[in-house]
Structure 1
């Protein structure tokens, strides 16, 4: 009986410790990664917005008190050469179109493609085919090892830390520090709040019709300025961005105008709809139990396994029973745990279900571009 107790304690302890090690060293790197085949649509809305609109066949004009809808489609480009089963890099495309609701006129649109580190969410290079495009036929592409859209673009890293991160701003075309601003509850999830304010910053200088900026001349040289206050709510375990709120201010200024004296190009707030936030939260809730198995469970297994092994060793020394069965149980428990955990992990690998040999590039690259 004493031999059986010692063997059981040592066997179960070894099983727990070995399973924890496999989950940490093999399962986590294999499963905690961005998916190749993402395909999501999210919607942001804004009310009381002032913006420039482009009536068909007419001149651009400033309109006030608009209601806007911004639709964003993110999908994986499985045809990209960087996509490999269990590779470290994935390739995502994002198409965004902003329309005013009454006449369905397009205010702006953008399409971009980027390579991402599957664990940190950071943009990586080289990335063949990386680009961004805001006007049809004016695509900006990366060359060689150039990092065209550096920083975080879509998600935060797995196990997001409470510190500053570099978030890529699509207007400035460069990453900007976004600061940890606290914790809160969202849809029953503990989330981190990240925020920053980008002050009014000069962008391009160009000529516009004088009528657009209230001048009698046919053409007037102006400088476009841009600033934004951005707040992101991030689920830290997955790094998923659940909610986005942006208060955007853009204006055209002549050489004699100061901040606030120019012509507004865009002035208002866009935020993800409740439906989009709920959909994001539901997806995270579905993924968290899977991540628990490869993040928190290993620690539980190590601690419990170590306790069982310690008790078994003490009893082995005190009772002098199980001197052969005990070590044998240790070996069998460890081997059995490794084999089972390794097999279950590989069977759960989402990359195995993808057919990466028979894919074609998606067709959303002209989405909304004028």
Structure 2
């Protein structure tokens, strides 16, 4: 004869632990990871571009060629405003353009060009959020970085000088310091961006003391290499051209800035790659490694626990069996 017995505590423990891990696996992948993939609010980074080109020298009142040019972009997060917004990352960005004559500058206002602005984005989607004193009104899908989980498609990149978006097209995979990312390229045709009051002689109108000249902007080429997981820009290259034209003119009369290539310095590339590697490891750990380990371990433990439970219930009672044999 057989008698049902209670399962052992070990079998129940294994079965419960396995079930817990099986439930945990999808939670990590579908709930925890999306909440870990958010733009930081306490960011404090600096990106530096260097190259050569032509710049307008106000002291000489002429365009000087073959100058060393440095663009510095400092990004700092406003934690208080970010937390007040509830879901946005509020970043204050200061971009300066310098030549060797203006570097180093104790005050960024002494730079050849000084441009402060505030960028506000949804922490999860990277889309612009129009609040918190945002200036200018930014559109598009990417600016300082791309969204998380970058896709192999075109993106609308905000160009602050243009005051609009530029379509950057996916061009395949490229490596930065041995680290692989997605490559995107684009360009900007000559576009009027505003006006500026200048001496008439700057735009070939010497008989007029001052002229409301037209500001024009173009970009020889934008190239970005982006980390697929985090959307962080690993390498950036730009070719800005800023000029002045006489009112209604169809040609450039004065060149303010013109460079075929201004690119991330090696130090900026190294810092971007290191940060992407750290953030990428964390996202992979939460979104892939831990869910897989939890699913596999949970399956094994659940099966083992179930087997032990079934065996425990079918185990014959040895004393009752012996008594039955003696009776026979």
TM range, smaller chain: 0.7 to 0.9
Mapped contact 1:73–1:96 kept (Cα < 8 A): yes
RMSD of aligned C-alpha atoms?
Answer: 3.0
- After TM superposition, list the pairs within 5 Å mapping 1:183-202 onto structure 2: 183-202=173-192
Match of 1:281 among 265, 273, 285: 273
Greater displacement, 286-295 / 11-20 = 11-20
| Greater relative contact order (CA < 8 Å, ≥ 6 in sequence) | 1
Q: 1:14 and 2:19 equivalent?
A: yes
- Look up the SS of the partner of 2:67 in the other structure: strand
Residue ranges of structure 1 left out of the alignment (5+ in a row): 133-147, 325-370
Mapped contact 1:20–1:297 kept (Cα < 8 A): no
Taking the aligned partners of 1:308 and 1:243, their CA distance within structure 2 comes to: 44
Taking the aligned partners of 2:117 and 2:212, their CA distance within structure 1 comes to: 29
Residue in structure 2 matched with residue 96 of structure 1 by the alignment: 95
Q: Cα gap change, 1:299/1:103 in structure 2, threshold over 3 Å: closer, same or farther?
A: closer
Taking the aligned partners of 2:122 and 2:167, their CA distance within structure 1 comes to: 19
Taking the aligned partners of 2:66 and 2:126, their CA distance within structure 1 comes to: 37
Residue in structure 2 matched with residue 129 of structure 1 by the alignment: 133
1:171-226, Cα deviation, whole Å (9 max, x unpaired): 12122222111111212322011111111112224442233234432344543221
Residue in structure 2 matched with residue 177 of structure 1 by the alignment: 167
Match of 1:117 among 119, 122, 141: 122
Aligned length: 298
1:310-345, Cα deviation, whole Å (9 max, x unpaired): 8559957xx942569xxxxxxxxxxxxxxxxxxxxx
Q: 1:52 and 2:77 equivalent?
A: no
Taking the aligned partners of 1:275 and 1:183, their CA distance within structure 2 comes to: 22
Q: Cα gap change, 1:78/1:174 in structure 2, threshold over 3 Å: closer, same or farther?
A: same
- TM-score (normalised: structure 1): 0.71
Taking the aligned partners of 1:70 and 1:192, their CA distance within structure 2 comes to: 23
Mapped contact 2:43–2:75 kept (Cα < 8 A): yes
1:215-241, Cα deviation, whole Å (9 max, x unpaired): 432344543221112111110111111
Taking the aligned partners of 1:6 and 1:130, their CA distance within structure 2 comes to: 59
Greater displacement, 221-230 / 155-164 = 221-230
Shift of 1:76: 0.6
1:36-87, Cα deviation, whole Å (9 max, x unpaired): 111111211121x1122333xxx7432211111111110111232x4259x4
- After TM superposition, list the pairs within 5 Å mapping 1:1-370 onto structure 2: 10-11=15-16, 13-47=18-52, 49-55=53-59, 60-80=61-81, 82-84=82-84, 87-104=86-103, 106-125=111-130, 127-132=131-136, 148-151=137-140, 152-217=142-207, 218-220=209-211, 222-228=213-219, 229-254=221-246, 258=250, 262-268=253-259, 269-301=261-293, 303-305=295-297, 307-308=299-300, 312=304, 320-322=310-312
Residue ranges of structure 2 left out of the alignment (5+ in a row): 1-6, 104-109, 315-328
Bigger-Rg structure (1/2): 2
